[in-house]
Amino acid sequence: MTNSAATLEHFERQKNILLTSYRRVGTPVYTPVNIAVEGEHAFVRTWNTAGKFKRIRHHPTVEIAPSTVFGQRTGPAIRARARVLEGAEAVHAGQALDRKYPLLQGVLVPMIHRLGHYRTIHIELTPLDDLVGRTVLITGATAGIGRTAVIQLAQRGAQIIIVGRSEDRGRQAVADISAQSHNDQVSFLQADMGHLESVRRLAQVVRQQYPQVDTLVNNVAGLSPTRQETVDGLEATLAVTHLGPFLLTRLLVPLLEEKPIGRVVNLMSGTYRFGSLDPLTLEPSGPYRGFDAYMSAKLALLLTSLELARRTQGSTLRVLLADPGGADTDTLTVSLQPGMLSARMRLMATFFSLLVRRPGNLERAARSSVEAVTSTDLMSGDYLKANTRPSQIARVAQDAAFAQRVWAASNRLVGLPDDLRVSETLFSTQE
């Protein structure tokens, strides 16, 4: 059985699916439709003036998910390529739908189309497996947005290496993701991204055991309501959210630059625009407040990402920023705890959390990181929002001289030289 056929297998008995197509500006539109599956392909039917037909012609990449007849999702979504059928192929697709739904699709729908003087359109859906041969290393992917992105990437054929602190959660995530994606090339590496020595060991393992890695996704982030220090004497939120990913990226840049499609994707937050930091300590001034530390760490991550993009110009490496927008994640939950936000900001965050707690939100939030991994049209330094289109970076992150100072401070705090070339001796501080 091919990867595409395996992916569609659980849709065979499904009566309804939720089809997600996209407007020209990138916003999604959700439509419940009937589906018939044959091997590597699935078929749906519509009419020539339907909005989804027009959207698919302009944007053939869609998502499909099991759903109720009313469009309530009942399972994970997969990405697929839509193709409008003609001639014998359209007839074959129509017959497949008629056999599965003899009354609804065989009689009622064609009757409605004739009465409305519509032309019936048949569309073929093929799961995207365009990432076969790609190897993605992603941190913080045992839950939330990272896990959702991993499922989508694995469904498209990529080999996945998940990084996390908990062996138990990691093993469970591997089993679940492999089952949902029908991809057995999913593995786990244990590392604490807030512990610099652990990050160095991780980089060494990747270079020795997974030299085929071509994409690094820094999805991990930390958030603490009280100021805590790591074993390295670093503020914990800064260490997990910025310095750990920065060190891992620096150590793997030589490996990634060897690949024809080398990528670094750093997960961002639009809150960076409210961050402020001391260019020497990389911490915000004033008394500690958890979310202030988080916003400043994201700003530092953005600034060093842009500096890395500048320093690797002319190479095959692309450094990309992926902003998921709002999502119901652990970070949002922690941000509502006392000490994280001012009273006014916590009220706004509570209201915001109610808006994002709806079905399909994590899939929408994962779109920017998946697009950053897969798109061939992006330039190094592009910042993608949830609509997957490059967007303007806020003024606070446009100062190149300040970015260079943050780059230098980041190197000093993790014990690396300014030069991008990394000596083998820097992979471990322990004998």
CA 307 → CA 82, 302, 410, 426, distances in Å?
A: 38, 9, 12, 21
Question: Residues 123, 140: one domain?
Answer: no
Residues 6+ apart with CB under 8 A from 104: 34
Pairing verdict, β 16-22 and 28-34 = antiparallel
Q: What is the pLDDT of residues 55-93, one digit of tens each?
A: 998 888 899 999 998 999 988 888 888 999 999 999 999
Residues 6+ apart with CB under 8 A from 431: none
Residue % of the chain over a pLDDT of 90: 57
Average pLDDT of the residues of the chain: 87
Question: Residues 353, 382: one domain?
Answer: yes
The confidence band for 3, taking pLDDT boundaries of 50, 70 and 90, is low
d(CA 263, CA 258): 11
The confidence band for 9, taking pLDDT boundaries of 50, 70 and 90, is confident
CATH code of the domain containing 18: 2.30.110.10
The confidence band for 359, taking pLDDT boundaries of 50, 70 and 90, is very low
Give the pLDDT confidence score for residue 24 in this predicted structure.
79
Give the pLDDT confidence score for residue 425 in this predicted structure.
64
Average pLDDT over residues 35-51: 90
d(CA 143, CA 347): 26
Give the pLDDT confidence score for residue 77 in this predicted structure.
83
Whether 431 has a pLDDT exceeding 70, the answer reads no
For the full predicted model, state whether its pTM sits above 0.85.
no
Pairing verdict, β 135-139 and 120-127 = unpaired
Q: What is the DSSP string of 356-392?
A: H-STTHHHHHHHHHHHHHH-SSPPTT-EE-TTSSB-P
Q: What is the pLDDT of residues 238-269, one digit of tens each?
A: 999 999 999 999 999 999 999 999 999 999 99
Whether 339 has a pLDDT exceeding 60, the answer reads no
Length of the chain: 431
Residue 122 sits in which domain range? 3-127
Residues 6+ apart with CB under 8 A from 265: 215, 216, 217, 218, 320, 321, 322, 369, 372, 373
* Highest mean pLDDT: which range of 107-111, 309-313, 332-336, 372-376: 309-313
Question: Residues 304, 218: one domain?
Answer: yes
Question: Residues 219, 303: one domain?
Answer: yes
Question: Residues 213, 329: one domain?
Answer: yes
| Crossing angle for the helix pair 167-181 and 144-155, to the nearest 10 degrees | 40
The secondary element (H helix, E strand) that includes residue 164 is: strand 159-164
Nearest Cα residue to 200 out of 410, 411, 428: 428
The confidence band for 355, taking pLDDT boundaries of 50, 70 and 90, is very low
Looking at 127, 157, 192, the residue that finishes a domain is: 127
The upper half-sphere exposure of residue 35, i.e. CA atoms within 13 Å in the direction of its Cβ, equals 30
* Domains: count for the chain: 2
Nearest Cα residue to 62 out of 13, 96, 29, 15: 29
Give the pLDDT confidence score for residue 326 in this predicted structure.
62
What is the residue type of 283?
Answer: E
The larger pLDDT score, comparing residue 332 to residue 180, is at 180
The confidence band for 155, taking pLDDT boundaries of 50, 70 and 90, is confident
Question: Residues 80, 171: one domain?
Answer: no
d(CA 131, CA 66): 23
Question: Residues 222, 265: one domain?
Answer: yes
Residue 116: φ, ψ to 5°: -90, 0
Question: Residues 90, 148: one domain?
Answer: no
Whether 328 has a pLDDT exceeding 60, the answer reads no
Are 348 and 356 in contact by the 8 Å Cβ rule? The answer is no
Question: Residues 27, 158: one domain?
Answer: no
Looking at 93, 127, 161, the residue that finishes a domain is: 127
Nearest Cα residue to 348 out of 334, 359, 336: 336
d(CA 260, CA 243): 27
CATH code of the domain containing 301: 3.40.50.720
The larger pLDDT score, comparing residue 106 to residue 100, is at 100
Whether 380 has a pLDDT exceeding 90, the answer reads yes
Give the pLDDT confidence score for residue 109 in this predicted structure.
81
The secondary element (H helix, E strand) that includes residue 18 is: strand 16-22
Nearest Cα residue to 192 out of 181, 200, 184: 200
Residue % of the chain over a pLDDT of 70: 89
The larger pLDDT score, comparing residue 352 to residue 126, is at 126
The larger pLDDT score, comparing residue 155 to residue 190, is at 190
Mapping DSSP to helix (H, G, I), strand (E, B) and coil, where does residue 90 land?
Answer: helix
Residue in the block written with tokens 């009566």: 15
Looking at 101, 127, 153, the residue that finishes a domain is: 127
d(CA 413, CA 431): 20
- Lowest mean pLDDT, pick from 25-34, 333-342, 399-408: 333-342
The confidence band for 21, taking pLDDT boundaries of 50, 70 and 90, is very high
**Torsion angle of C-alpha atoms 66, 68, 71, 73, degrees rounded to 10:** -50
Give the pLDDT confidence score for residue 357 in this predicted structure.
47
Whether 332 has a pLDDT exceeding 70, the answer reads no
The larger pLDDT score, comparing residue 92 to residue 328, is at 92
**H helix runs in 48-189, sequence order:** 51-58, 87-100, 109-115, 144-155, 167-181
Question: Residues 58, 173: one domain?
Answer: no
Whether 354 has a pLDDT exceeding 60, the answer reads no
